[in-house]
């Protein structure tokens, strides 16, 4: 128990209590769905689903309705919380909820939970999984009976630890879902929301694997990059995503290293001119510091950290080149307009993605990643 839990409301620490199924749950769920749809329609959330054990006829459950809705992003969560508050919905912020893939609300009556609302990102895996599990439990009475026995046993074992109770069910749930999910390409979560990077890595990897961003995986989190090496930052990001999802994932950290600046901007490439990550300002600062210097030699270096089956593997790609005196081209991103690879007069920003991939540091690191995966 956290040191400050004695100050929390009673509903936040109530014990796990699994009860016999009640026929009223379906009707109550329909009422909540209708009310929530009306409240949340202005926020582009027309569809509310009743999920969890109370949505499965005949299944014992905690007497708490679980409902979910989808949003394109979490930018309006504060407004949604304000709209729900008059209806006894309490917002549990991510730092307390510890599930960055969702935004969580609890409806309270007489200081007891009566419903949960899970707000998920559109097209998230969690949304699909919740519906798959619910529908299979309804369709398969034998599976529902096994789940009921497990839930009842675990509720006694973890009566005072809601998180432990939920975690203990996860192996059963994942086993069920693994047989239900439609066959799909092997996928890797890429620890970024930079769509340029996703497209560049996907182009390098080809069609053998599906690369998805954090948002596509239903994760909304800003991962810090506190270390002074590319390797350590890449490891930090992949370890964080693996800890949150349990899935295979990878991250990359890339730096531009300029000889005349003793390796600057290096690990601080994205924040060279400030924390706002404005690459126009970064380029401007770089050119200012190199003004008049005859030594324009530089390189892009990428380090990929892959976590596969719980083990980390590192891959490096380097592209040697030089810094131009003025930006050229409008393609690419970051420092691409001022970097020309060895053997080229054009900048990366003047090349198509296919042309850039002939030299790309990310392509070289990604090729090593793909070769490793093909041999697994």
Residues 6+ apart with CB under 8 A from 219: 100, 101, 189, 241, 244, 245
Distance from C-alpha of 103 to C-alpha of 74, rounded to nearest angstrom: 8
Distance from C-alpha of 137 to C-alpha of 147, rounded to nearest angstrom: 9
The angle subtended at Cα 189 by Cα 187 and Cα 190, nearest 5°, is 125
Exposure letters 124-160 (e unless 16+ CB within 10 A, then b): bbbbbbbebbbebbeeeeeebeebbeebeebbeebee
**Cβ(152)–Cβ(18) under 8 Å?**
yes
Q: Of the residues 66, 129, 220, 253, which is catalytic?
A: 253
Residue 297: how many other CB atoms lie within 10 Å: 13
Q: DSSP labels for 301-366?
A: EEEEEEEETTEEEEEEEEEEEEE-SS---SSS-TTGGGEEETT-SS-GGGS-HHHHHTT-HHHHHH
Q: Classify residue 16 by its DSSP letter.
A: P
Q: Considering only CA atoms, which of 194, 214, 130 is closest in space to residue 336?
A: 194
User: Does 259 participate in catalysis according to the annotation?
Assistant: no
Q: Please identify which residue in the block is written with the tokens 């590192």.
A: 314
Pull the structure tokens for residue 234.
């890449």
Residues known to be catalytic: 253
């Amino acid at each position: 128990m956290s040191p400050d839990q004695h100050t929390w409301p009673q509903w936040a620490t109530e014990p796990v209590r699994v009860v016999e199924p009640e026929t009223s749950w379906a009707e109550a769920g329909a009422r909540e769905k209708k009310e929530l749809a009306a409240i949340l329609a202005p926020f582009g959330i027309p569809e509310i689903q009743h999920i969890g054990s109370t949505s499965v006829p005949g299944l014992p459950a905690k007497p708490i309705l679980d409902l979910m809705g989808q949003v394109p992003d979490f930018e309006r969560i504060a407004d949604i919380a304000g709209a729900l508050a008059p209806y006894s919905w309490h917002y549990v912020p991510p730092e307390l909820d510890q599930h960055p893939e969702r935004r969580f609300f609890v409806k309270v009556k007489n200081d007891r939970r009566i419903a949960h609302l899970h707000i998920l990102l559109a097209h998230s895996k969690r949304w699909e999984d919740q519906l798959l599990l619910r529908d299979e439990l309804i369709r398969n009475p034998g599976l529902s009976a096994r789940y009921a026995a497990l839930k009842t046993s675990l509720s006694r074992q973890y009566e005072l630890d809601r998180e432990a109770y939920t975690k203990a069910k996860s192996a059963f749930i994942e086993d069920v879902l693994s047989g239900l999910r439609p066959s799909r390409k092997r996928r890797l979560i890429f620890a970024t929301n930079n769509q340029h990077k996703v497209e560049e890595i996907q182009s390098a990897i080809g069609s053998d694997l599906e690369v998805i961003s954090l948002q596509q995986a239903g994760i909304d989190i800003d991962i810090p990059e506190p270390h002074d090496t590319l390797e350590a930052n890449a490891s930090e990001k992949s370890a964080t995503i693996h800890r949150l999802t349990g899935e295979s994932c990878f991250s990359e950290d890339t730096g531009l290293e300029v000889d005349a600046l003793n390796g600057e901007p290096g690990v601080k490439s994205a924040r060279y001119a400030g924390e706002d990550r404005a690459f126009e300002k970064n380029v401007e600062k770089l050119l200012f510091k190199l003004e008049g210097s005859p030594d324009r030699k530089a390189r892009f270096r990428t380090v990929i950290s892959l976590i596969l089956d719980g083990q980390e593997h590192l891959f490096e790609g380097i592209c040697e080149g030089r810094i131009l005196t003025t930006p050229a081209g409008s393609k690419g991103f970051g420092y691409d307009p001022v970097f020309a690879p060895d053997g080229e007069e054009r900048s990366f920003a003047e090349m198509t993605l296919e042309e850039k991939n002939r030299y790309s540091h990310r392509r070289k690191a990604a090729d090593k990643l793909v070769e490793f995966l093909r041999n697994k």
